[in-house]
Amino acid sequence: MILALESAVIAHGLPRPLNIKVAVELERMAKQMGCDPKTIGIVNGKIRVGMSTSEIREMGKRDDVLKVGTRDIPVAVALKRWGATTVSATMRIAHDMGIKVFATGGIGGVHPGNNWDVSQDILELAQTNMIVVSAGAKSILDLKRTMEALETFQVTVIGYKTEEFPAFYTRSSGIRIQRIDSLDKIVKMFRTKERFDIPGAILVCNPIPEEHEIPGDEFESWKEKALAEAREKGIEGKDLTPFLLKRIMELSNGKALEANISLLKNNVRLGCEIAKKMEV
């Protein structure tokens, strides 16, 4: 009953020193639920499936950690760097080790604008056969285009106890998806995919718990401000997502941070339940 966890959230997603505390807490929760959590990352060029607590602590403190998507795995390994794996790289490595379930916060997707900033996460979700639990995609993204991309690339998207594609901080986006209420049905879907050799992931969308949800209009003003600042400063490419996350957390006076932690825990809980079902 292994559950994969990513490390980009430690190095680039959450502020210090809370990043370490949250990463350790997520592992503790998974263990308490009877799962074996494996936080995936790259330590001095070595791929670690199950970073030690001291490695997690060090990654959370270092300033020279690369943000590693799938295409960056060879770079981090060859240059013997520390690498924090995003959804794409975490999936690739976890799959290579035979891990079937992975819990994260939110997936990357299609950024707004016409500059073709489309996350590697989409391509990895299209190719790698796993169950990925996420709270949807953040509304810093173009959610409609993100959903269209997921369809084009044949990613199976389902809502756990919801009919709407959740938007990370909020439970709703107006974009409809197939609702599933039973863990057994998720496992059945996975088995069917295997039977017919359908490549790619099942993206299980798990909305943020109601008590920590941030209303869309409140979020919208922070988002607009963060996006405008990014444009002004010329921040783009792989630096864009971490910059926006950081600014939104600051602008929200900690509310976005609390929400982020809440949904991470919620996804680890569901990930554990699914991982346990997969074994039966």
**Contact residues for ligand PSU, defined by CB under 6 A:** 6, 8-9, 12-13, 69, 86-87, 105-106, 108, 119-121, 138, 168, 238, 241, 245
CB of 141 to ligand PSU, least distance (A): 8
For residues 158 and 173, what is the distance between their CA atoms, to the nearest angstrom?
A: 14
Query: From the CB of 118, what's the least distance to Mn ion, in Å?
Result: 7
C-alpha distances in Å from residue 242, one per residue of 99, 100, 216: 27, 27, 20
Q: Does 138 qualify as catalytic in the annotation?
A: yes
Segment (H or E) for 36: strand 36-43
**104 with 9: CB under 8 angstroms?**
yes
Q: How many residues bind Mn ion (CB under 5 A)?
A: 1
Q: Give the residue, chosen from 117, 142, 164, 273, that forms a contact with Mn ion under the rule CB under 5 A.
A: 117
Nearest approach, Cβ of 196 to ligand PSU (angstroms)?
Answer: 27
Residue 213 bears catalytic tag = no
Binder of residue 139, out of Mn ion, ligand PSU, none (CB less than 5 to 8 A by kind): none
Shortest spacing between CB 204 and ligand PSU, in angstroms = 16
Residue nearest to ligand PSU (CB): 13
Residue of 38, 67, 100, 138 marked catalytic: 138
Where are the alpha helices (H) located in the chain, listed in sequence order?
A: 8, 18-32, 53-61, 73-78, 87-96, 120-127, 143-152, 183-195, 216-233, 240-251, 255-279
Is residue 144 within 8 Å of 111, Cβ to Cβ?
no
The residues carrying an active-site annotation are: 6, 138
